[in-house]
Amino acid sequence: MSQSKSGFSLKKQLGRGKQIAGMTTTIAGGLRTAQRIGAFRQPPRERLPRYIQTFCRKMAGSFGVKVVEVEPVPQHHGLWVSNHVSWMDIPVVGSVSPAFFLSKAEIGEWPVFGKLAHAAGTVFIRRGSGDTDSVTTQIASFLNEGFSVVFFPEATTTDGKKIKRIHGTLLQAAIEANVPIQPMVLSYVNKDGTLSEALPYYGKLTMKNSMKRVLDSKDVTAYVLPLEPIDPNGHTKSELTNMLQQRMREGLTELHTRVLRPSANAQASV
């Protein structure tokens, strides 16, 4: 290996190590805060959003990702939805919205992250026999208690250029709880105004390789744009799905227009 390549490799390893250290520090701080406010015993859901937002913003920052609200994100009650580009979406969305995340029940059994998820008031969904109605009922019950929930209706990650087909099954919860659907869109942008290719986690990319790509990326900004909320009153689940699909597609186009340089925006639109 040449001296220049060796030096580059060492610099890359040092950069990764610094970010991993920052992530570890953030997790340790989250555990201490959860212990201090009694979140391990009974998550104080009324007080949790501000703690979650601080933790998520620090977690994104530990990976070198700055979160910017293109417009102020409202902090009202509702069923929140976002497009899905990366595992980084969780700290990004969590840093700006007052909503709690959905998670499979088994994740709550994971060491460290499962413990943090419990302390963060995560809504653990108990799936059985493919019964999506029971999941919708659980979410509606949570919404009726006055707590917001966020999920990714594309049900898969993308390259960040388009909105895939929306799966609207869980929108029934907004109808049952009579709360607004609050969509938002996000985009990862490099310093030169182009879409990041390092942050999207999709296709055949492994989690290990995705983590390396994120750790090696520099000066990436996660831009978040809240969209006009949708009132479910008087609409069917199918109608709401179509409305949300259109709103998120138009919203992502607007976001790209506002944060990408013109040539990069043209490529994203292809």
Looking at residue 190, its pLDDT comes to: 96
Looking at residue 22, its pLDDT comes to: 79
* Tokens describing residue 264: 């990069």
Looking at residue 115, its pLDDT comes to: 87
What are the two backbone dihedrals, phi and then psi, of residue 239, each rounded to the nearest 5 degrees? -65, -45
Pairing of strands 181-189, 220-226: antiparallel
pTM: 0.88
Closest CA to 153 of 270, 68, 246: 246
Instruction: Report yes or no: 123 and 41 within 8 Å, Cβ to Cβ.
Output: no
Q: How far is CA 24 from the centre of its chain?
A: 20
pLDDT (tens digit, 0 to 9) for every residue of the chain, 270 residues total? 455 555 557 666 776 777 788 778 888 888 899 899 998 888 888 889 999 999 999 999 999 999 999 999 999 999 999 999 999 999 999 999 999 998 877 878 887 888 888 889 888 877 654 556 688 988 999 999 999 999 999 989 999 999 999 999 999 999 999 999 999 999 999 999 999 999 999 988 998 999 889 988 889 999 999 999 999 999 999 999 999 999 999 999 999 999 999 877 766 765
- Tens of pLDDT, residue by residue over 98-133, are 999 988 778 788 878 888 888 898 888 776 545 566
